[in-house]
Amino acid sequence: MSEEWMSRGYITLEELDGVHPLPGRERLMEGPVAIPECPQEIPCTPCREICPTGAITMERVNDPPRVDYSKCIGCSLCVQICPGLAFFMVHLKEGKARVTMPYEYLPLPRRGERVRLLDRKGEVVGEGVVVMVMTRERSRGDTAVLTVEMAEELAMVVRAVEVMGDE
């Protein structure tokens, strides 16, 4: 596998799909499904250990995680526990996308708050609304988790958000 993404600092959707095929639109519409963005070969397994359905596998401890999308129940535990902030969940619902992601900054946005949407490069690509907030205290890992609603076409683009403050 080409590892240009390592020197570039972010991975493209095409490269991710090459590491582990992404779920199709039909699966994204069935319910929230976990997507790993962890292509690097590192000895790390918390996501596999915490998954209650055995959906996450890796043959060797260094392998990137793979998700059996048919076994994922969208519990978000992998998003909560991943120390590399490398797991997300995506759900297409009623013409919108809901993306669940780790969030490590303060202040934590509130439910209903508008936020700026950032792509994998950190560039602003639009605005969305926070529909779920799990505080760090409620999370099984060391990070808070947000679910953000946005335009459907941004489902596989947005992987971070920024609070907008009082502007």
Q: Does 51 bind ligand SF4 (CB under 6 A)?
A: yes
In the complex with ligand SF4, which residue's Cβ is closer, 36 or 109?
36
In the complex with ligand SF4, which residue's Cβ is closer, 45 or 127?
45
Segment lying near ligand SF4 (by CB under 6 A), choices 21-29, 78-86, 104-112, 118-126? 78-86
In the complex with ligand SF4, which residue's Cβ is closer, 36 or 128?
36
Q: Are 158 and 117 in contact (CB under 8 A)?
A: yes
Candidate residues 28, 86, 156, 158; the one interacting with ligand SF4 per rule CB under 6 A: 86
Residues 30-49 that bind ligand SF4 (CB under 6 A): 34, 36, 38, 44, 46-47
Candidate residues 19, 22, 72, 146; the one interacting with ligand SF4 per rule CB under 6 A: 72
Q: Does 62 bind ligand SF4 (CB under 6 A)?
A: no
In the complex with ligand SF4, which residue's Cβ is closer, 60 or 110?
60
In the complex with ligand SF4, which residue's Cβ is closer, 56 or 156?
56
Residue 18 burial by CB count (10 A; 0-12/13-18/19+): exposed, middle or buried? middle
Residue 71 burial by CB count (10 A; 0-12/13-18/19+): exposed, middle or buried? middle
Q: Are 62 and 41 in contact (CB under 8 A)?
A: yes
SS3 per residue for 43-78 = CCCHHHHHCCCCCEECCCCCCCCEECCCCCCCCCHH
Instruction: Specify the 3-state DSSP secondary structure of 124.
Output: strand
Please state the closest distance from residue 164 (CB atom) to ligand SF4, in A: 28
Phi-psi region of 148 (alpha: psi -120 to 50; beta: other; left: phi over 0): beta
Phi-psi region of 50 (alpha: psi -120 to 50; beta: other; left: phi over 0): alpha
| Residues contributing to the site for ligand SF4 (CB under 6 A) | 34, 36, 38, 44, 46-47, 50-53, 55-56, 65, 67, 72-78, 82-84, 86-87, 89
